[in-house]
Amino acid sequence: MSSVIHDIPPEALKALALPSLDTLADAKVRGAVCVWCGEKLTAERAVDLGEQMSPHSGTTSLMRWFPRACHGCIADRAHRGLFAHGSTCELCRDEKTTADCSAGRGLYRLVRKYRQ
């Protein structure tokens, strides 16, 4: 069973910078391998990034896909996303309001949970 990310806000998922659907091999689209590094995923090492809807190959229709990631990639992407997000977010820059930012909080939790 993979780790399911139900409580990560959409803003945090956006900061992870999922690759474009058109650039991915079928195994990455299906979640059989990590969406970033291509590592084959086991139930213990998979982080489910939820169902995504993305434009498909120059059409206006949306395609459903199910990206998953390995622990190392999710921690790395969340860490990078946290720095990028924190540099532009007014809530994250102010110590008194840091806890009010759902994106920053979600990225921080991913880093803590999956870093090695």
**pLDDT tens digit sequence for 22-76:** 899 999 999 999 999 999 999 998 999 988 888 877 777 888 999 999 999 999 9
Domain coordinates in residue numbering, the chain = 3-114
What CA–CA distance (Å, rounded) separates 19 from 21?
6
Which helix (H) or strand (E) segment is 13 a member of?
helix 10-15
Place of tokens 């930012």: 101
**At residue 2, does pLDDT exceed 50?**
no
Q: How confident is the model at residue 7 (pLDDT cuts 50, 70, 90)?
A: low
Place of tokens 């998922």: 13
Q: How confident is the model at residue 1 (pLDDT cuts 50, 70, 90)?
A: very low
Q: How confident is the model at residue 94 (pLDDT cuts 50, 70, 90)?
A: confident
The mean pLDDT of the chain is 87
Cα of first residue to Cα of last residue in the chain, in angstroms, is 20
Q: What is the pLDDT of residue 10?
A: 85
